[in-house]
Amino acid sequence: MKLRLLHMGDVHGHLLPRAHLRADGGPRVQGGLARLHTLVTSLRAGRSDTLLFNTGDTIQGSAEALFTRGQALVDVLDRFGIDGFAPGNWDYLYGKGRFLELFGPGSAGRDGCRWGAVAANVYDNSDGKRLLPPFRVLEADGCRVAVLGLSSERAINALGPWVTEGIRFTHDAAEIGPLLDEVRALHAPDAIVLLSEFGLAKNVLIAERHPALTVVLSSDSHEETRDPVATSAGVLVSEVGQDGTRLGQFDLTLVRGRVTEWRYRLHVVDEALDEDAETAACVEQVRRPFVSGPAFRPHVNPINGAVLDTPIDTVVGHACVGLHRSGFARDAIPAALHGTSSQYLAEALRRQTGADVGHMRGFRYGTHVAPGVVRLEDLYHFMPVGAQVATGTVRGDALVDALERSADGAFNPDPFAWTGGVARFVCGPALLHRPLRADGRPYSRRGGAACWPERMGACGAG
């Protein structure tokens, strides 16, 4: 029995190709949903045993996503024929009502959920019931596949709990064991696939705890598995980067519910792929009200009420170096600590506000912008909820404490203590990062604000 699984995730609102500036080389322009659709179509051709899964963080990360409350991405990805979807934390950005409108029961007609959305760990506070089905069972060329879902376990820390008011997330994946028992007893699947937005490290631990799983398709941490992680029991775990630049492919041979042979490939979505013409036209259509031209119109930010009255393809600045936060752990500037994009934006905030310190929270890694012009839409990829600039005063010890807690959320030895996997970035104070100190503390304090714990300084943040 053969089964092909295709895996996309962490698209983060990227409709178009973007630069690729990471040190591993490769094509310098990657991604684009029209090219991704071409790749998906080619891998499905003549294969009725193929299923396509999306592991979340899809409808946030760009101006087009924000100002349409996710509709721009939904309109394009509805064309892909997604068979299963685990929402990420950012897919709840526009509130409970909008989430249910897009992905809840009835969003795909009758009682169906758009893209086959599943989430075992997300509950409605009003009645304690799950927002989505915890699993679904699919059939692909005679192969019975149970698809379980785990949404994010931490809601949206960057904005606060008000964003997901009325929704409760559990964080320990305790639902998976009982669900596996239920699925195996009632449906006798040939394969069990977990779609999980818990991040790669946590998902490896979950896979180790549940050897009945066949494959875990992971999102959240934007890692890339060139080869899948195989647990001691043979459960395979993969993650596919970010921004629609990668597509994972598993080809499995199954005998009586066990994998006897597997092959994996992590595809790069690049200019070698032609654009799917109809998808490219759809992308152009959803972007038309946002870019220069007669169709442009103002848009209201659903988060803070600010008005977008400038086309997003407007040039707003220049950069002499490429802007990104994607360095490997071995690189001089590892992405978990900072990158040129964080430095550029934090310094811009500091200078424009006249503050002592510039603060750039950002979200994990963000997009890439080649040296040269910086457009408004690039800023929306880096600050995708339309962050507004504010200044205030902060004590040095309070600033250091915030950075210590941020580092702990990125480097704690326990993955279940992570809060996003990326440290906040500030310009102004000098701090020496030592995430692997023997006593477990992530930072050593050196220089800048840390030397004057009682000092008050102005801080500009976005």
Per-residue model confidence as pLDDT tens digits over 386-443: 878 888 888 877 887 887 888 788 788 888 887 766 777 778 765 545 554 445 454 4
**What mean pLDDT comes out for the span 281-296?**
98
Beta strands in 320-371 (DSSP E): 357-360
Per-residue model confidence as pLDDT tens digits over 339-375: 899 889 889 988 888 888 888 776 666 799 999 999 9
**173 phi-psi bin (left φ>0, alpha ψ -120 to 50, beta other):** left
Q: How much is the pTM?
A: 0.93
Per-residue model confidence as pLDDT tens digits over 272-288: 999 999 999 999 999 99
374 has which bridge partners? Answer: 317
Q: Give the model's pLDDT for residue 230.
A: 97
Q: 59 and 114 in contact (C-beta within 8 Å)?
A: no
Compute the distance between CA of residue 176 and CA of residue 134 in angstroms, rounded to an integer. Answer: 9
Q: 402 and 426 in contact (C-beta within 8 Å)?
A: no
Q: Give Cα separations from 138 to 3, 188, 440 (angstroms).
A: 12, 12, 45
Query: What is 26-95 written as a DSSP string?
Result: --SEEE-HHHHHHHHHHHHTT-TTEEEEE-S--S-SSHHHHHTTTHHHHHHHGGG---EE---GGGGTT-
| Terminal-to-terminal C-alpha distance of the chain | 53
Which residues have CB under 8 Å from 134's CB, separation 6+? Answer: 118, 119, 120, 148, 149, 175, 179
Nearest-5° Cα angle at 224, 260 to 26:
115
Q: 104 and 125 in contact (C-beta within 8 Å)?
A: no
Q: How many residues does the chain have?
A: 462
Number of Cβ within 10 Å of residue 254's Cβ equals 20
Amino acid 436 reads L
